[in-house]
Amino acid sequence: MAPELLLDSNIRLWVVLPIVFITFLVGVIRHYVSILLQSDKKLTLEQVSDSQVLIRSRILRENGKYIPKQSFLMRKFYFNNQEDGFLKNTKRKVVPPSPMTDPSMLTDMMKGNVTNVLPMILIGGWINWTFSGFVTTKVPFPLTLRFKPMLQQGIELLSLDASWVSSASWYFLNVFGLRSMYSLILGQDNGADQSRIMQEQMSGAAIAMPADTNKAFKAEWEALELTDHQWALEGVEEELMSRELDLDGMFSKELPTGIF
């Protein structure tokens, strides 16, 4: 239904490709800058210790069936005992690090903003200003009219299909689209990965949550209470002797010695 517009091929050469390059290079630069500005996350001894205790309790629940019943009960008692069980009685001082009061979190946020949001805004604005007044590309799916003011920033045509977008929207498309390229070139977990960082910010104090060890302890305590001991070695001899041992290759070859 929409009229097929034929775009000047110059647009392709001088607008589409430069925006791709610019986005990509800015991403790479962001990655290296974020490495330079990285601050060391120092864990306290208590945090390390607690995380390991939680792992041990979980292993006890999952693999407790490989040790004798007595040993399992001994450990369960150690963790869950009414009077002095570790999980029951250890209370950690939980200070939820709110972004405003905790200085290191504040600087981290600032750095995050500076490296990611600021360049995006600046460059987005610059592209909008430079490459304005014409249509850049067409998105392959039809869009409603409501998208027009958003995606067609500088083009004042009322009758133009909303699928035709301006260069600013092409820029934003690139920012998200080049994510997989970054993984290919910079390796996983790179600093140029915009959307991942925004996801982290959205899960907000998710990084601060491990500080809530009390809740973690309580959850482990409940789970451990419910666990029973099903000894995996009940019928092990019968299982073993149901068939002959596989003794192929034993004593048949010399052990290798020497350097090469």
Residue 210 CA to residue 48 CA, distance in Å, equals 11
Residue entry with tokens 């009219």:
145
- Nearer residue to another protein within complex by CB, 100 or 259: 259
Q: Which of residues 136-195 bind another protein (CB under 8 A)?
A: none
Residue 193 CB partners (closer than 8 Å, separation 6+): 179, 182, 183
Query: What is the contact mask toward another protein in residues 29 to 68, using x (rule: CB under 8 A)?
Result: --------------xxx--xx--xx-xx--xx--xx-xxx
- Nearer residue to another protein within complex by CB, 17 or 59: 59
Contact residue for another protein among 141, 247, 254, 256 (CB under 8 A): 247
Contact residue for another protein among 144, 188, 251, 253 (CB under 8 A): 251
Residue 139 CB partners (closer than 8 Å, separation 6+): 163, 165
- Nearer residue to another protein within complex by CB, 56 or 92: 56
Is 106 within 8 Å of 99 (Cβ atoms)?
A: yes
Residues in the chain: 260
- Nearer residue to another protein within complex by CB, 6 or 250: 250
- Helix (H) or strand (E) segment spanning residue 41: none
Is 86 within 8 Å of 78 (Cβ atoms)?
A: yes
Contact residue for another protein among 1, 145, 158, 240 (CB under 8 A): 240
Torsion angles phi and psi, residue 217, rounded to 5: -60, -45
CB of 256 to another protein, least distance (A): 12
3-state DSSP call for residue 164? strand
- Nearer residue to another protein within complex by CB, 43 or 206: 43
3-state DSSP call for residue 3? coil
CB of 228 to another protein, least distance (A): 16
CB of 249 to another protein, least distance (A): 8
Q: Which residues bind another protein (CB under 8 A)?
A: 43-45, 48-49, 52-53, 55-56, 59-60, 63-64, 66-68, 71, 233, 236-237, 239-241, 244-247, 249-252, 259-260
